[in-house]
Amino acid sequence: MSTAAQSLLEKLGVHLDPELLVLALTHRSFAHEAGGIPTNERLEFLGDTVLGLVVTEHLYRTYPAQSEGDLAKMRAATVSQRALAHVARDLELGDFVLLGKGELATGGKDKDSILSDTLEALFGAVYLSHGLETARELVDRLVSPTLAAAAGLGAGLDWKTSLQELSAHLGLGAPSYDVTGEGPDHARTFTAHAVVGGQVRGSGTGSAKKIAEQEAAAAAYATLSELRDAQDAGSTADVR
- For residue 124, the Cα-to-chain-centroid distance in whole angstroms is 17
Q: Full-prediction pTM beyond 0.75?
A: no
Catalytic residue (choose from 10, 19, 41, 48) = 48
**More confident position, 153 or 158:** 158
Does the pLDDT of residue 238 top 60, yes or no? no
182 is in an annotated binding site: no
Spell out the residues 6+ positions from residue 68 whose beta carbon is closer than 8 angstroms to its own. none
The predicted-structure confidence for 42-87, as pLDDT tens digits, reads as follows 999 999 999 999 999 999 999 898 888 888 888 888 888 888 999 9
Taking phi over 0 as left and psi of -120 to 50 as alpha, with beta for the rest, 13 belongs to left
Query: Is 229 one of the annotated active-site residues of the chain?
Result: no
Catalytic residue (choose from 120, 158, 213, 215) = 120
Query: Is 48 one of the annotated active-site residues of the chain?
Result: yes
238 is in an annotated binding site: no
Q: What is the rounded distance in angstroms from the CA atom of residue 193 to the CA atom of residue 213? A: 7
Give the burial string for 96-120 (b: 16+ CB within 10 Å, else e): bbbbbeebeeeebbebbebbbbbbb
110 is in an annotated binding site: no
The predicted-structure confidence for 168-188, as pLDDT tens digits, reads as follows 989 999 999 999 999 887 678
Q: Do the Cβ atoms of 21 and 125 come closer than 8 Å?
A: yes
